[in-house]
């Protein structure tokens, strides 16, 4: 299993860390599963509670942070899973995410961004949570 979280780059006075994992499954299978917000409680425990509710184009759930709302990029053939999450504070974060083909099947890449005023410790905790969620996604799709 290849996982990385090493790449950290400065982007317009913010920091991004690209966290990825290889999944031994067809990219379309990975994309279709991950793009369905109803599946989030099965793998994205850092975001979704046990129930996800749809309101038009928006979804909501109880997360470890409290009530959150989110929207995903429209269905597409490019593996784009970008999503915006509105936190209990009202702040909205944009989360770039992709599923791409690789030799073994798929690679899922999540670009974690360090928000203004976020401590290094909080950024590291977020990176650990994303890494755990991607490992769970891999486990779910490979069994």
Residue 15 CA to residue 116 CA, distance in Å, equals: 10
pLDDT tens column, 104-129: 899 999 999 998 888 999 999 999 99
What's residue 1's pLDDT? 41
CA distances (Å), 108 to each of 54, 87, 98, 99, 121, in order?
Answer: 25, 24, 6, 5, 24
The residue extents of the domains of the chain are 3-142
- Residue spans of the chain under pLDDT 70: 1-14
Extended strands (E) in 29-121: 52-55, 58-63, 66-72, 83-86, 92-95, 97-102, 105-114
CATH architecture for segment(s) 3-142: 2-Layer Sandwich (3.30)
What's residue 127's pLDDT? 94
What's residue 29's pLDDT? 97
Ramachandran region, residue 6 (left: φ > 0; alpha: ψ -120 to 50; beta: rest): alpha
What is the reported pTM? 0.85
* Residue 113 and residue 16 in contact, taking contact as beta carbons nearer than 8 Å: yes
What's residue 3's pLDDT? 45
Residue 23 CA to residue 21 CA, distance in Å, equals: 6
What's residue 8's pLDDT? 44
């Amino acid at each position: 299993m290849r996982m990385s979280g090493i790449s950290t780059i400065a982007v317009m006075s913010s920091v991004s860390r690209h966290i990825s994992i290889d999944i031994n499954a067809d990219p379309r299978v990975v994309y279709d599963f991950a793009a369905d917000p109803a599946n989030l409680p099965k793998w994205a425990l850092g975001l979704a509670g046990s129930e996800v509710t749809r309101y038009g184009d928006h979804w909501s759930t109880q997360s470890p942070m409290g009530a959150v709302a989110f929207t995903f990029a429209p269905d597409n053939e490019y593996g784009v899973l970008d999503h915006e999450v509105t936190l209990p504070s009202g702040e909205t974060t944009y989360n770039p995410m992709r599923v791409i083909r690789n030799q073994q099947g798929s690679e899922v890449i999540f670009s974690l961004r360090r928000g203004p005023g976020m401590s290094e410790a909080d950024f590291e905790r977020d990176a650990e949570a994303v890494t755990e969620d991607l490992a769970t996604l891999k486990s779910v799709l490979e069994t």
